[in-house]
Amino acid sequence: MSNKVKEIAIIPNLTKDSDFSATNKIAELAHINGVSALIDSEYADKVKFANGASYEELNNAQLIVVLGGDGTLLSAVHRFSDTKAAFLGINYGNLGFLTEIEKDMPEQFVEILNGHYGVSEHLTIEVSLNGKTYTALNDATLHRDAVSSMIKFSVAVGGEHLYSSSADGIIVSTPTGSTAYSLSAGGPIVDPTIDAVILSLICPHDLNSRSVIVPTGKEIALVVTNAVGNSAVNIDGRIAVNVKNGDVITINAGKKVKLVRLSDSFFYKRLKQKLF
């Protein structure tokens, strides 16, 4: 793709960049390359080469540039859930499976500003519980109370009962989230461009449990049959919703989130760097 960027919205990381030095470098690079930079009006006086903007103006930028690790990018995706922009993650964190470039690679940022980049579309899931719907880019996890015994639940796919389980919980993951919590629970690594949802049990009371990969056209339903204390559904590790006996959690494929990529083989390069 070669389509010079005209405007970016910068989302700073107030923990990793408390003095806004990294944010200022990004804004200055944009300015030098003829790109307008926007930042939340609250921080405008701290960033020389960026203009203060409202949520709507940030949401309508061509690219949303996020400084931080995967957690910061996930927060930005949740905040700007209805944007048409693509997200560019600049990694100031650790693992960085969602982020595209590292903090010490300004030449790659300039390459992107000049329009030399692609866009990868990543599936989200819509998680519905008690009349409310939540969007997850990585995963939704049904889990037991921290001090209670196992949680019991049943799983149905496409209206067909699949199994009932006693476990610490279950992870319903997108392919993007397959390298996150799902991987730690023994789930498969799935190319993030594949349209599928992964079910992985957490410490099940069953020696024969296996992950299941479900096509996006089938609704997944979790029915809680025995929950104690503060058992909950956790959305992308950021939103927790308590559950009780009899609650039904339904999961369906959601819209896709666009992430900036410099290479079609990004995912496999990152796997080699981070996991193998």
CATH 3.40.50.10330 in the chain is located at 7-116
What distance in Å separates the CA atoms of residue 190 and residue 170, rounded to the nearest whole number? Answer: 17
Q: Write down the pLDDT at residue 4.
A: 92
Q: Write down the pLDDT at residue 182.
A: 95
Which is it for strands 86-91 and 101-102: parallel, antiparallel or unpaired? Answer: parallel
What distance in Å separates the CA atoms of residue 254 and residue 118, rounded to the nearest whole number? Answer: 22
Q: Write down the pLDDT at residue 92.
A: 86
| CB 179 within 8 Å of CB 189 | yes
Q: pLDDT tens digits, the chain, 276 residues: what are they?
A: 457 999 999 999 999 999 999 999 999 999 999 999 999 999 999 999 999 999 999 999 999 999 998 999 999 999 999 999 999 999 987 767 888 998 888 999 999 999 999 999 999 999 999 999 999 999 999 999 887 789 999 999 999 999 999 999 999 999 999 999 999 999 999 999 899 999 999 999 887 789 999 999 999 999 999 998 899 999 999 899 999 999 999 999 999 999 999 987 778 887 887 777
- pLDDT tens-place string over residues 66-87: 999 899 999 999 999 999 999 9
CATH 2.60.200.30 in the chain is located at 124-255
Which H or E element spans position 73? helix 70-79
Find all residues with CB under 8 Å of 4, minimum gap 6, and list them: 34, 35, 113, 114, 115
Residues annotated catalytic, as ranges: 70
Q: What angle do CA 198, 242, 197 make, to 5 degrees?
A: 10
Q: Write down the pLDDT at residue 82.
A: 92
State in words which class domain 124-255 has: mainly beta
DSSP string for residues in 221-240: EEEEEE--TT-EEEETTTEE
Q: What is the CA radius of gyration of the chain?
A: 20
Domain 7-116: CATH architecture, name and number where available: 3-Layer(aba) Sandwich (3.40)
pTM over 0.85: yes
